[in-house]
Structure 1
Amino acid sequence: MTLVTLEELKQWLNIDQSDTSKDIILNIYINGVSEMIIGMIGRNILAEDHIEKYAGTNSNALILKNYPINSVTSIKYIIDNAVYRELDSTEYDINSKSGILYKDLVWGKIGGSSLMSQRINYPRRHIRIEYNAGYAEVPADLKLLALQLIKSQLGIDSSEGASQGLKSYSISDVKMEWKEDVKLSQEQIAIVNKYRAVNI
């Protein structure tokens, strides 16, 4: 996926839409910067279906890896590939924005433990969730971040010119390289952190 379109980038850079002389290079920058940002985020942010397994939390909150949650198709408790219970939609609540499922009773853990421990040290991922999560379109702040980084990489505001740009990215027989010192400001880092994948 790309965070900006060629048309949007041309408008941002004040390049006439009818001028196609730099389209190949601009697309390389679009793809390169988009992949860099998405790599930092660690997940696809656009809406798509997911099938994931989770261990219980022994609390009433279960944080899903992807958000915002658009819909939940099913939640099943599975042991040894056999469904032993499917939750009804009335048994849980969805905090769509943060990607959390709440339940009046706990999302119980099951699994094994060491001989010296009474806790479950080796929980099984017995909760199988099918759901759709992500944004219908690229959020405006991520789009702006991509445009800012592309402009910076092109060196438009620098006397060094476009040669200070990419570090090893190519399409067909055209290859460009990123500059070594790509650094994000605190505000830009905050934007990336806002969309980062949840480590579970």
Structure 2
Amino acid sequence: MPIVTLDDAKAQLNITASDTSEDVELQGYIDAATAAVETQLGQAVDQRTVVDQFTFPTGVTSFLLRTTPVLSMLSLATLDGSQSWTPTAPTMYVDSASGLVTVLSGPPVKGTVVATYQAGYTAVPANVRLAALIIVQHLWETQRGTMGVQLGGDTDTYVAGRGFAIPRRAIELLGPQLPGVA
């Protein structure tokens, strides 16, 4: 499920749905806003299939997937196909929020393995959707020079360590960045 659709973005920018003259460019802004939102949150929002490869020299019974939240584990197998694990209970448990995979029964995970899973949100929260629309609108208007020059007063305050692409109001809607694993 995308954070925002092309029609959502057109409505935000007051572009009629029948006007397709700038759809390709606008889709680029949507894709960029999606990446910015996911980076800010430290999570996948747009649902997708993720393939991670890990190498475990010794057997492990738990490990972390790289992308959260995890919607479902599709498969876990060695790269050479010599061993696979059933990605569901009672063989395996996957914590959606943390991405922690725990093998409950069977052999430990060893060697080079490939984990294939679905990650992202089942439903995009209103604040995340609105933040993405604000970013799309900001990128669209600044590229076209329609925002004008604003000096002092009601402008967004510069936040050290932040760039220009994400307006402060979008950052505030997204909340503090979630802690991650270093």
Place the TM-score, normalised by the shorter chain, in its bin. Answer: 0.5 to 0.7
Displacement of 1:49 in angstroms is 4.6
Counterpart position of 1:187: 172
- Note if contact 1:47-1:136 (Cα within 8 Å) is conserved in structure 2: no
Give the structure 2 partner of residue 153 of structure 1: 139
Q: 1:61 to 1:44 in 2, by over 3 A?
A: same
Q: 1:162 to 1:34 in 2, by over 3 A?
A: farther
Distance 2:25 2:2 in 1: 15
Equivalent-residue separation in structure 1 for 2:104 and 2:136 (angstroms)? 47
Pairwise CA distance, 1:48: 1.0
Structure 1 residues 93 and 2, CA gap change in structure 2 (3 angstroms): closer
Q: What secondary structure, in the 3-state scheme, does the structure 2 residue paired with 1:55 have? A: strand
Long gaps (5+) in structure 2: 150-162
C-alpha distance in structure 1 between counterparts of 2:104 and 2:124, whole Å: 33
Which residue matches 1:172? Answer: none
Deviations 1:140-194 (A, max 9, x none): 44432220112233449xxx72478xxxxxxxxxxxxxxx733453535637x45
Task: Provide, for residues 6-58 of structure 1, a one-character-per-residue CA deviation record: whole Å limited to 9, x for no partner.
Answer: 21112223433234565465344334434444566587842215252243798
- Correspondences of 1:6-155 after superposition (within 5 Å): 6-20=6-20, 23=23, 26-37=26-37, 41=42, 45-55=46-56, 61-67=62-68, 68-76=70-78, 83=82, 85-87=83-85, 90-103=90-103, 126-135=111-120, 139-140=124-125, 141-155=127-141
The residue type paired with residue 139 of structure 1 is: V
Q: Number of residue pairs matched? A: 159
Q: 1:91–1:103: 8 Å Cα contact kept in structure 2?
A: yes
- Helix, strand or coil at the partner of 1:139: coil
Distance 2:104 2:23 in 1: 55
TM-superposed deviation, 1:103: 3.8
Indicate how the Cα distance of structure 1 residues 104 and 36 shifts in structure 2: closer, same or farther if over 3 A, else same.
Answer: closer
Q: Give the match for residue 114 of structure 1.
A: none
| Equivalent position amino acid for 1:92 in 2 | M
Residues 108/53 of structure 1: CA separation in 2 closer, same or farther (3 Å cut): same
SS at structure 1 position matched to 2:137:
helix
TM-score (norm: length of structure 2): 0.57
The 8 Å contact of residues 52 and 66 in structure 2, kept in 1 or not, is answered as: no
Q: 1:51 to 1:139 in 2, by over 3 A?
A: same
Change (3 A) 1:92 1:127: farther
For 2:108 and 2:25, locate their aligned partners in 1 and report how far apart those are by CA, in whole Å. Answer: 53
Judging changes above 3 Å, is the alpha-carbon distance between structure 1 residues 142 and 7 closer, same or farther for their aligned structure 2 residues?
A: same
Distance 2:24 2:123 in 1: 22
Letter in 2 for 1:146: A
CA distance in 2, matches of 1:23, 1:45: 19
Partner of 1:72, secondary structure, is strand
